[in-house]
Amino acid sequence: MADQHAQSGEDKRPTEIPVIRWEEPPEGPVLVLLDQTRLPAEEVELVCTDAPVLVEAIRSLAVRGAPLLGIAGAYGVALAAARGFDVDDAADALAGARPTAVNLAVGVRRAQAAYRAELARSGDMGKAAEAALAAARKLHRDDAEASARMAERGLALLDELLPGGGHRILTHCNTGSLVSGGEGTAFAVALAAHRVGRLRRLWVDETRPLLQGARLTAYEAARSGMAYTLLTDSAAGSLFAAGEVDAVLIGADRIAADGSVANKVGSYPLAVLARYHHVPFIVVAPVTTVDPDTPDGASIEVEQRAGFEVTEVTAPQVPVTGPGGGIPVAPLGTQAYNPAFDVTPPELVTAIVTEEGVVSPVTAEALAEMCARSREV
């Protein structure tokens, strides 16, 4: 197959500006985000001065992807605390901004717990705000470390499952440094394979309707110098049938206690295809994505998003004409089905790779054991 987008050259920083950073200018602390709705056309910063601005940034996907949502949520609590807003109100608004990625609530509640514990200990709101910020910074650092360990473990697993090397990997949505304190989850594994010369090609699903694959993963892949090719989501079937996929690597927004995996809509069909074609389907996610309080896939709340994301093209670089702010591609008034995620049952998942280890086969017992190990560390 022709290399439509093969790139060469050294690794570059995935973006010129960091995806998230805390700053303390004289006017007061701010959280500065790389606005992901504007990529790949331009790298623009979005400055959050309080939690409601961040809540809107989360809802609009200016900041997105499970691990980064956790980090952003924790910084959001720190921001509310540092600016003297009601921390509990801010925490509730942030945790509820999007329902599926459990990391968001985990990050928010960790920073909130640090704030409350320090307030109870010292009675000093300034010190409590510092404790919330320290918790956010720790989550940020931990995620970077988790990323590196997932990449290492994921690469070892790929080499074990595909001893021939020359991996052709299919991925969906965006799971690189745009969603993480480090190099990401599934994308970090592909990047590790690329660096040691064992990635033959990254197949990038465009990921309708918001094009996280085309806009963001292709952007990161191009800047890393790896060989990659973009495809429409519906072309995946014929790619499998042509024998061009050696493994599927995806991230996760929530992994239920039974091993069911919620991820960007379109992941489940890939799992079904992978099973039919005897291709490993591998999920890469930090332990914070595993939610022991969600018993099974049916209990995962799947975010439903506005229909105009389907009935209009809403890329930032197209002129505004439709009611949703984009170019209509369906008759006005068309109803749309637009779940942001789908759920893959554990029996279709070959392995779940976390920073703590690889779970395969995926069972509730093996997942619980791995989570317990991670709590002991």
Smaller CB separation from ligand MRU, 29 or 209: 209
Nearest to 107 by CA among 146, 133, 145, 81: 133
Q: Which residues pair with 248 in a beta bridge?
A: 170, 281
Residues in 232-251 at the binding interface with ligand MRU, rule: CB under 6 A: 251
Among 37, 147, 177, 212, binds ligand MRU (CB under 6 A): 212
3-state secondary structure 115-163: HHHHHHHHCCHHHHHHHHHHHHHHHHHHHHHHHHHHHHHHHHHHHHHCC
Window of 10-18, 79-87, 116-124, 173-181 that interacts with ligand MRU by CB under 6 A: 173-181
* 253: annotated active-site residue: yes
Stretch that binds ligand MRU, among 58-66, 197-205, 225-233, 310-318 (CB under 6 A): 58-66
Output the residue with the shortest Cβ distance to ligand MRU. 251
Catalytic residue among 35, 253, 258, 291: 253
Q: Is 263 annotated as a binding residue?
A: yes
Site string for ligand MRU, 64-93 (x = CB under 6 A): xxxx--------------------------
- The number of residues that bind ligand MRU (CB under 6 A) is 18
How many CA atoms are closer than 13 Å to the CA of 109, on its beta-carbon side? Answer: 8
Q: Is 271 strand, coil or helix? A: helix
Is residue 229 at the binding interface for ligand MRU, with CB under 6 A as the rule? no
* Options 15, 37, 175, 344; binder of ligand MRU; rule CB under 6 A: 175
Choose between 118 and 183: whose C-beta lies nearer to ligand MRU: 183
* E-assigned strand segments in the chain: 20-23, 30-34, 45-48, 167-171, 199-205, 228-231, 247-250, 254-256, 261-264, 281-284, 290-291, 312-313, 327-328, 341-344, 351-354, 357-359
CA 126 to chain centre: 32
Which helix or strand (DSSP H or E) is residue 70 part of? helix 66-82
64 is in an annotated binding site: yes
* Rounded Cα gap, residues 370 and 147, in angstroms: 17
CB 119 within 8 A of CB 329: no
300 binds ligand MRU (CB under 6 A): no
Q: Which of residues 258-277 bind ligand MRU (CB under 6 A)?
A: 263-264
Query: Would you list which residues are annotated within the binding site for substrate?
Result: 64-66, 98, 212, 263-264
Active centre residues (catalytic): 253
Q: Which residues in this chain contact ligand MRU in the complex, by CB under 6 A?
A: 61, 64-67, 101, 173, 175, 179, 184-185, 212, 251-253, 263-264, 340
